[in-house]
Structure 1
Amino acid sequence: MAGLAAAFGSGAMTNSFEDIMETELIMLIGSNTTESHPVAGYKIKQAVKKGAKLIVIDPRNIELAGYADLHLQLKPGTNLPLLNALAHVIIEEGLYNEEFIRERTEGFDAYKDTVKDYSPEAVAEICGVPAEKIREAARMYAKAGKAMILYTMGITQFSFGTYGVLAVANLAMLTGHVGKDGAGVNPLRGQNNVQGACDMGGLPNVFTGYQRVDDPAANEKFSKAWGVKLPEKPGLTLGEMFDGALKGSIKAMYIMGENPVLSDPDARHIEEALKNLDFLVVQDIFLTETARFADVVLPAATFAEKDGTFTNTERRVQRVRKAIPCVGEAKPDWEIIALVATKMGYPMNYSSAEEIFDEMRTLTPSYAGITYERLEKKSLQWPCPAPDHPGTKFLHSDKFVRGKGLFHPIPFKEPEEKPDSEYPFTLITGRRLYHYHTGTMSRRSMMGEHMPEDHLEMNPADAKKLNVNDGDRVRVTTRRGSVEIKVALTDKVPEGTVFASFHFFESPVNQVTNPARDPLAKTPELKYSAAKIEKL
């Protein structure tokens, strides 16, 4: 992960939504964009209508596959060999960007030696995509004057998720499709301010702007600014915190705006961890499934009841303006935190969100030139290092953060568990257009009427073998337990694969998903679980 962070920074989009409309080719991998990121999905449709080519790489026959020039319907969990096979063809046929590789990268020879073993013919046996389709996709991507890759959690939510991101980055560097308009490596963030939370240090190993806590200079800077001696080693990731709670090494927890009882894998494990805490605080806008375990619930203000900023997936910082007074006893998150900190002996005497933002930007080079005054006129994309800087449309125009981009040889890694005679199906999970994350807000709105319950997508051929009809209820069982859900027959999913979302507490699919983690990023393998299906 260190190499990835050094080469490609924070995990934000290297480019902008505007570039979707300027590119010649879009490669979409591991993203059901029209349902999970409908604004980006609409822009992809516009780009295709304008003349851009589209390659969709996804196990499901998603909506955008109908707009695609090529749909590589790979078997779940085979992203790595497919991406290596694309690189194999590009190198074998001399389609790579020699000048870019020579001047802006290192490690190419080792990477070349790795991908030579991933011929399309060999990989076709692994991923189920015909060799000629792999060759065609590689040629289209390499030959385009401008090409961009869009991806989401269909790449990252595996026990080898870091490798998936590195494989995508390798492909962009191999062809020189990075550091210019209409190109880049572009992960789409799943919620409105995930990027902003990460930028502000909402990670266990960094302060704001990705300044590492174990960097002595950064640690000293923040310790001096805040008047306390700060820890010098990274903290725990989300999964590690719940492990600690279950073991008893973590006694108390403060959860803000998160509902892990529905969103985290092996959710029964999460429930047991919460029960084992001595003290739990939940700060949220509704009494969520997680809040029901809390000793104290602090009522937070919604987006419409507070001032501040959101930073979206393209690094765009935007003003959020208070539209209505706070309802009931609710307060903005920053105000609640300041009150709690003051009671605990560390006075936080802030008067507004703007005051906090101004303090933050003095400590954060990438935000230094962004002010509320400027944001009143228009949004800005970081890095924006000075008050007269216009913001940055795309990253890495001259060099990568580490200097030269580093190619990473990526071996084939398989998911932690595979289907077998007892668990013959592959269960994959994702989102639905009508709902947002765990449904805390969307299911309390009219969206709940449009989709009041979830369904398990199943191929008709599989249903016939199980004597299951459309609308029947089934039990889905994995090595973690069982959930019950209604079936919807569809050819969106191939034989042997079933799909469900995690929005619904009535069919909490994350109770049975796999908690196996990527050893570097610690991301769980939510996208792949071996399962069996029984008609009820």
Structure 2
Amino acid sequence: MAGLAATLGSGAMTNTIGCIEKADVILVTGSNTTENHPVLSAFVKRAVEFKGARLIVVDPRRIKLAGFAHQWLRPNLGTDVAWINGMMHVIIKENLYDKTFVENRTTGFQELKAVVEKYTPEYVAEITGIPAQSIIDAARMYAGAKAGSILYCMGITQHTTGTDNVKSLAHLSMLCGNMGIEGGGVNPLRGQNNVQGACDMGGLPNVFTGYQPVNNADAVKKMEDAWGVSGLSDKIGLKVTEMLPKAHDGELKSLYIIGENPLVSDPDLNHAEKCISNLDFLVVQDIFMTETTRLADVVLPSACFAEKEGTFSNTERRVQRVRKAVNPPGEAWDDWKITCEIATRMGYPMSYESSEAIFEELSKLTPSYGGITYDRIEEEGIHWPCPTADHPGTPILHSGQFPIGRGIFFAIDYIPPAEKADDEYPVYLTTGRVIYQYHTGTMTRKTDGLNDRAPGSFVEISPQDAEKYGLADGDLVNVESRRGNITARVNFSDKAVEGTVFIPFHFAEAAANKLTNAALDPVSGIPEYKVCAVKLSKAA
């Protein structure tokens, strides 16, 4: 979200899911929407099939949504800034941009214009592999829309240039005046059901609730007064991807992990395991035993979503009630109750009696949630910001002005991925999900019906590469990177492009993240899960 926050002043989906059906043109990039967000993908398909929307899909794989697209652009991995700059080059050169919006609501246009000048369609084609005419056609289609919606997911963010990728998409939207309007905007599709809510609640190392900076004196004072404490730290903490290297070096002694399974989800897993093994003390709090609990000194059983009360804030900023259906099993507790009990035993009693009481406190301390109560969202959710009790919520952001005043155009150049294919490791690997499993499989792999559909890992490969390496569909293949190796079954697919393979990351027994590169985006700290170099060989 760092890219949107820097460019627009708010790191969240600008529009609603329903707005997708109001778009004239929808640009989907870095999102295998039908598999990762199947419900939301129905809005895209309905907009195209029944509402007359035109669809541009930009993805290295022939994902299912490409079959609905009016234009499918197939870029080389890690070249997003280049093709976006190429589209903006065409839009500016052909005078297709929204001059009124650019003049009245943005700053930095001349800097943007200067940097994209060299990104001619021909130059972009050399970098991305996208034909020059396809860049021109896509630019004209998007710029010609009365309302153009951009949808993106982790195929954009999980790069060393992820923040630049997101900024560039925001630039494209602003350039065409697609901010603050129904059917427009830049819309990140969050990877889990309450990722947005976790961020809203301060689940980041640099902010309190509602993105109030921890190094802002007024925000610190507000929290100290509310909690009856003094001396709250104003220092920005470590990102997740910064913690394990600190553990490896002995600077981080203990770790408390809640609802996370880094020994399947982190990059360069062999190194990650060494880092975690070097801790003096590890606590893991989760609903099931995981690969990470294997190394824990203490495991705390927690309640799942159906066993507790609370709220989720979904990808469109809609705050919704979650209601308890059944009691937690055994000794499992709500996460907030575990936190309160630990705090009390450490000498700081937390006397909250319910999740609603906690929500009431955060509403008082968080301007964007200030007008939201359990009563107001009993039947229907509310989109933040909702600052007062009589405020209806804000389905569409930035309709008047941006939180930072004017949207900012940055001069951004294309930077290649951290690791390139070479003679030793000649094939590119990209990773992701399949529809029948979820993240590290902690929940879904305990479900027989889902395991029947997706029983194990596979290497999605083009028929051309399979022939080159002497592989038949269903063969076992060794995949090796500079960091590790795995063995999985070959899966012939027309989704794959020659020279690139895809492996889902759900399966611990053939963990794709043993191969991935821990190179990080310098701003967000997100690893480059989407590009690394590997070599293939037929398993004996």
TM-score, structure 1 length as denominator? Answer: 0.99
Residue correspondence of structure 1 range 67-466 to structure 2 within 5 A? 67-228=68-229, 229-445=231-447, 446-466=449-469
Give the CA RMSD over aligned residues. 1.0
Q: Secondary structure at the match of 2:23?
A: coil
The question of whether the paired residues in 1 share the 8 Å contact of 2:55 and 2:71 is answered with: yes
Provide the secondary structure at the position in 1 that maps to 2:350: coil
Q: 1:386-413 CA deviation, whole Å, 9 max, x = no partner?
A: 1111111110001111100010111010
Q: Tell me the equivalent position of 2:43.
A: 43
Aligned-partner Cα distance in 1 for 2:520–2:295: 25
Asked whether the equivalents of residues 372 and 386 of structure 2 are also in contact (C-alpha less than 8 Å), the reply is yes
CA distance in 2, matches of 1:476, 1:10: 40
Output the amino acid matched with 1:349: S
Partner secondary structure for residue 429 of structure 1? strand
* Kept in 1: contact 2:2–2:11 (CA 8 A): no
Alignment of 1:476-515 (within 5 A): 476-515=479-518
- 1:7, distance to aligned residue in structure 2 (A): 3.6
CA distance in 2, matches of 1:466, 1:103: 57
Match of 1:470 in 2: 473
Q: Distance in 2 between matches of 1:107 and 1:397?
A: 20
- Equivalent position SS for 2:321: strand
SS, match of residue 340 in structure 1: helix
Q: Distance in 2 between matches of 1:123 and 1:106?
A: 25
Query: Hey, what's the Cα distance between the residues in 1 that align with 2:467 and 2:326?
Result: 54
Shift of residue 448, structure 1, vs aligned partner: 1.7
Secondary structure at the aligned position of 2:528 is classed as coil
State the AA in 1 paired with 2:286: D
Structure 2 CA distance for aligned equivalents of residues 9 and 532 of structure 1: 42
Cα deviation code 1:174-218 (max 9, x no counterpart): 100111110000000000000000000000000000000011111
Take 1:8 and 1:428, find their aligned partners in 2: how far apart are those partners?
A: 29
1:296 aligned partner, one-letter code: V
User: In structure 2, what is the Cα distance between the partners aligned to 1:306 and 1:463?
Assistant: 48
Paired letter, 1:148: S
In structure 1, C-alpha distance between the alignment counterparts of 2:3 and 2:536, rounded to whole Å: 41
Cα distance in 2, alignment partners of residues 35 and 502 from structure 1: 14
User: What is aligned with 1:58?
Assistant: 59
What amino acid does structure 2 have at the position aligned with 1:98?
Answer: K
- 1:79-119 CA-to-partner distances (Å, cap 9, x unmatched) read 11000000000000000000000000000001000000000
> How much does 1:2 deviate?
6.5
Q: CA deviation at 1:42?
A: 1.3
CA distance in 2, matches of 1:63, 1:454: 20
Structure 2 residue matching 1:139: 3-state secondary structure: helix
User: 4+ runs of 1 displaced by more than 2 Å?
Assistant: 1-4, 6-11
Aligned sequence identity (%): 55
Q: How far did 1:233 drift?
A: 1.4
1:8 CA displacement = 2.8
Q: 1:381 to 1:296 in 2, by over 3 A?
A: same
| Structure 1 unaligned spans of 5+ | none
Give the partner amino acid of 1:101: V
Question: What does the per-residue CA deviation read over 1:3-48, in whole Å, with 9 as the maximum and x for residues that have no partner?
Answer: 7414434432100001011111100011100001111111111111
Residue type matched to 1:510 in 2?
Answer: N
Cα distance, 1:377 vs structure 2: 2.6
Give secondary structure in 1 for the equivalent of 2:136.
Answer: helix
Aligned length: 536
Give me the whole-angstrom Cα distance separating, in 2, the residues matched to 1:273 and 1:125: 40
Per-residue displacement from partner, 1:498-525 (whole Å, max 9, x unpaired)? 0011000111010110000011111110
Question: Are 1:14 and 2:14 matched, yes or no?
Answer: yes
Letter in 1 for 2:487: E
Task: Confirm or deny: 8 A CA contact 1:6 1:401 kept in the other structure.
Answer: no
Superposition TM-score, scaled by structure 2 size: 0.98
Whole-angstrom distance in 1 between the partners of 2:296 and 2:434 = 28
CA distances 1:473-501 after superposition (whole Å, capped 9, x unpaired)? 11111110111111101121110000011
Deviation readout 1:121-147 (Å, 9 max, x if unpaired): 111111111111100000000010010
Q: CA contact under 8 A between 1:10 and 1:210: conserved in structure 2?
A: no
